[in-house]
Structure 1
Amino acid sequence: MTLGDDILKKINKKFEPSSNVPMRYRNYDLLLITDKEGNAVQLFMGKANAEGIIKGNRYARTLKYDRDGRLIKDHWERKGKAT
């Protein structure tokens, strides 16, 4: 399952640095893990159980910068099942 443009607009924003950000998208529960700059670097997408653990898919984001600090690569990749 690839991520669509609608969800990418929602998760590619800046969030609170070094935190877990729960949210909903359509009928999915999402959990974003952010880095120290506030960029989402991991995404868990699926259904949350009573304890808040999401069962579904796990995605990781690759962010690459050049020497001047400009973003040269921004890519989300599915890493497998989330349990």
Structure 2
Amino acid sequence: MPLHEVLDKKLSKIYEPKSRIDDVFKGYDITFLTNEHGEPVTLFFGKRRPDGTIVGERFTRTIKRVPGSMEVKSSHWDNQGKIMGR
């Protein structure tokens, strides 16, 4: 399942490297983690619990770069399945 176009646009931006960003998107809680370049690479999407964890789905991003540079050639998000609170 592809991500919503507006969410994908938000996740295509560069953020602080190696950080965790908590946000809300269309009534759902989201948290994403960035890599050393500030690119979001892990997304948690669902409902946030009082302890801060999210019950919902987890996505990971695959990034392909132009050879010999840091320019992103292409990227896509894969649904890794449901995440349940304990």
TM-score (norm: length of structure 2): 0.89
Tell me, yes or no, if structure 1 residue 3 matches structure 2 residue 3.
yes
Q: Which moved more, 1:67-76 or 1:12-21?
A: 67-76
Runs of 4+ residues over 4 Å off in structure 1 = none
Query: Using the alignment, how far apart are the partners of 1:73 and 1:59 within structure 2?
Result: 16
Q: Percent identity?
A: 34
Query: Using the alignment, how far apart are the partners of 1:66 and 1:6 within structure 2?
Result: 25
TM-score (norm: length of structure 1): 0.91
Tell me the equivalent position of 1:35: 35
Post-superposition offset of 1:50: 0.6
Q: Which moved more, 1:64-73 or 1:34-43?
A: 64-73
Post-superposition offset of 1:71: 2.1
Give the count of matched residue pairs.
83
Unaligned runs of 5+ in 2: none
Q: Which moved more, 1:48-57 or 1:4-13?
A: 4-13
Tell me the equivalent position of 1:62: 62
Tell me how large the CA RMSD over aligned residues is. Answer: 1.2
| Structure 2 counterpart of 1:50, one-letter code | P
Tell me, yes or no, if structure 1 residue 75 matches structure 2 residue 76.
yes
Report the secondary structure of 1:30's partner residue: strand
Tell me the equivalent position of 1:50: 50
